[in-house]
């Protein structure tokens, strides 16, 4: 079982220092705390002004990733693309009111990156440092871990994974998706704040249409590349290159941003939503039919293998995954009960709320379980893979819950205090010492309701 291809980012919450309401309720600064009237009209479940089912969808996404890496479900890597679309939706929803802000672009750009940094980097850095300690003390992760630290530290890990010399790390291999998210975050404020609102949808649609072309170009380039490492699976190597190249996947984020911009019309869709669902089903059926006719795969379903290459699978499946995630989010925004109610299930919603931590912790947890407990696991044996999944899920959720409440949320408050002008010492004091007092006063903790990369991924 190839476990090298996943990561969920996050898409956790994009606006680290925002409350749940601020994170997912569009509106200008100062009015974001009011529950969204659009959301109320649509019938979707709102908890503290936050869309519960969007968190539930994050929970589904991170669950799929765990199923994939444990060997239970070979197509579980698709959870990462769900994260990407959610991330674009939540980030844009939280920033829509800022397009008319009197602040200069440079100030808004810096503020945006500061919020993202305090949401993503603390836990990310902790995991990287722990990996270095484990490697230095036990040697278990191998010397390649130290060789990868530069790309991990600069969020270019996804680009490193495109080289045949890359050696997979069972501690940090999943962090590539956070590199993709961070690279998107560098471009998002430039496009979102500088493009006139009337042109913004057209620009985003251009990104959606250009991404398959970019994937096709990468596929063609790598079709001429021969891996330098002997014994490398050439087809998987080429499929992995398309899988990792960030510009080829910005369409997923762009789809999420478009959903945020068109949120009000979406809630009014009637027959159009049914037509969208049918069109998505037809496109998937056509995709598998073409995969079967291509002769590349023994079964059309193998086109959903993580590193599938050939027949156009490495180009079009990502577009269909983004479209499917959009359908799910549209169903939530419309309050379609068959979609919204299961996703708003409270335990699933909570897992989604802490999904960034679940995602970040699950690979180190898997490494620990396969090193010390399941020392000779057969990933093709479902009972063994299922037991590994259960252990990964329980431990990852426990660690993520602890991290979210005692580390990640206080760090969001630290960032908030620093943006208000507090010194580093005062910011840490306020962030880590005042959380309980704020909670008792009824104020939502900063960052409550974030996503895995976005703010919880």
CA distances to 235, 272, 402, 416 from 115, rounded to whole Å, are 39, 36, 21, 8
Q: What is the pLDDT of residues 183-196, one digit of tens each?
A: 999 999 999 999 99
* CA 49/CA 55 separation, integer angstroms: 13
Q: What are 50's strand-pairing partners?
A: 47
* Through-space distance between the first and last CA atoms of the chain, rounded to whole angstroms: 24
pLDDT value at residue 100 = 59
Instruction: Pick the closest to residue 238 from 183, 167, 315 (CA basis).
Output: 315
Percent of the chain with pLDDT over 90: 70
State the DSSP H helix or E strand holding residue 345, giving kind and residue range, or none if neither.
none
Does residue 28 have a pLDDT over 60? Answer: no
pLDDT value at residue 102 = 72
Does residue 79 have a pLDDT over 50? Answer: yes
* CB 219, CB 315: distance < 8 Å: yes
Does residue 446 have a pLDDT over 60? Answer: no
pLDDT value at residue 24 = 36
More confident residue, 449 or 274: 274
Q: What is the pLDDT of residues 299-346, one digit of tens each?
A: 999 999 999 999 999 999 999 999 999 999 999 999 999 999 999 999
Q: What is the pLDDT of residues 43-70, one digit of tens each?
A: 456 555 579 999 999 999 999 999 999 9
pLDDT value at residue 47 = 57
pLDDT value at residue 444 = 40
pLDDT band at 98 (very low <50, low <70, confident <90, very high): low
* CA 266/CA 116 separation, integer angstroms: 28
pLDDT value at residue 167 = 86
Does residue 352 have a pLDDT over 90? Answer: yes
pLDDT band at 452 (very low <50, low <70, confident <90, very high): very low
* CB 391, CB 426: distance < 8 Å: no
Q: What is the pLDDT of residues 259-272, one digit of tens each?
A: 999 999 999 888 89
More confident residue, 42 or 373: 373
* CB 450, CB 425: distance < 8 Å: no
Does residue 450 have a pLDDT over 60? Answer: no
pLDDT value at residue 146 = 86
Averaged confidence pLDDT in the chain: 85
Determine how many CB atoms are found less than 10 A away from the CB of residue 441: 8
Count CA within 13 A, CB hemisphere, residue 47: 13
* CA 335/CA 332 separation, integer angstroms: 5
pLDDT value at residue 457 = 42
Return the minimum-mean-pLDDT range out of 78-92, 97-111, 116-130: 97-111
Vertex 302: Cα angle to 299 and 305 (nearest 5)? 175
Question: Residue 420 has which token pair?
Answer: 């208000």
Q: Note the pTM of the prediction, 2 decimals.
A: 0.86
Percent of the chain with pLDDT over 70: 83
pLDDT band at 276 (very low <50, low <70, confident <90, very high): very high
pLDDT value at residue 165 = 81
Q: Which residue has the tokens 């407990």?
A: 373
pLDDT band at 229 (very low <50, low <70, confident <90, very high): confident
What stretches of 375-450 show up as alpha helix (H) in DSSP? 382-403, 409-419, 424-433, 435-440
pLDDT value at residue 441 = 41
pLDDT band at 5 (very low <50, low <70, confident <90, very high): very low
**CA–centroid distance for 87 within its chain:** 6
């Amino acid at each position: 079982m190839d476990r090298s291809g996943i990561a969920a980012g996050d898409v956790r919450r994009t606006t680290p220092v925002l409350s749940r309401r601020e994170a997912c309720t569009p509106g200008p600064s100062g009015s974001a705390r009011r529950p969204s009237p659009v959301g109320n009209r649509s019938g979707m479940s709102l908890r503290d002004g936050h869309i519960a089912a969007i968190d539930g969808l994050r929970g589904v996404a991170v669950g799929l990733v765990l199923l994939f890496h444990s060997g239970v479900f070979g197509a579980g890597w698709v959870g990462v693309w769900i994260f990407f679309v959610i991330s674009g939706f939540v980030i844009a929803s939280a920033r829509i009111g800022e397009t008319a802000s009197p602040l200069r672009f440079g100030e808004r750009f810096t503020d945006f990156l500061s919020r993202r940094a305090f949401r993503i980097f603390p836990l990310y850095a902790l995991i990287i440092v722990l990996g270095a300690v484990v490697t230095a003390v036990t040697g278990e992760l191998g010397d390649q871990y130290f060789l990868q630290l530069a790309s991990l530290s600069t969020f270019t890990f996804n680009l490193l994974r495109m080289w045949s010399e890359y050696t997979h790390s069972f501690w940090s291999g999943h962090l590539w998706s956070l590199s993709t998210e961070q690279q998107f975050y560098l471009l998002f404020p430039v496009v979102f704040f500088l493009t006139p609102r009337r042109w913004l949808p057209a620009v985003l649609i251009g990104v959606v249409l250009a991404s398959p072309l970019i994937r096709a170009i990468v596929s063609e380039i790598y079709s001429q590349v021969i891996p330098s490492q002997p014994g490398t699976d050439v087809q998987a190597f080429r499929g992995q290159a398309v899988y990792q190249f960030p510009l080829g996947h910005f369409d997923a984020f762009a789809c999420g941003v478009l959903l945020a911009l068109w949120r009000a019309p979406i809630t009014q869709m009637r027959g159009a939503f049914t037509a969208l669902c049918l069109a998505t089903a037809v496109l998937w059926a056509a995709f598998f039919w073409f995969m079967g006719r291509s002769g590349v795969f023994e079964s059309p379903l193998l086109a959903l293998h993580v590193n599938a290459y050939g027949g156009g699978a490495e180009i079009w499946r990502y577009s269909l995954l983004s479209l499917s995630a959009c359908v799910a989010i549209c169903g939530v925004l419309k309050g379609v009960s068959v979609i919204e109610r299961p996703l708003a299930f409270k335990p699933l919603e909570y897992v989604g709320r802490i999904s960034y931590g679940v995602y970040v912790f699950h690979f180190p947890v898997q490494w620990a379980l396969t090193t010390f407990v399941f020392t000779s696991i057969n990933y093709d044996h479902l009972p063994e893979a299922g037991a590994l999944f259960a252990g990964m899920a329980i431990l990852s959720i426990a660690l993520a819950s602890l991290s979210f409440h005692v580390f990640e949320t206080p760090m969001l408050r630290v960032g908030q205090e620093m943006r208000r002008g507090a010194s580093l010492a005062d910011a840490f004091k306020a962030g880590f010492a005042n959380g309980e007092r704020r909670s008792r006063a009824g104020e939502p903790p900063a960052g409550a309701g974030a996503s895995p990369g976005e703010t919880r991924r």
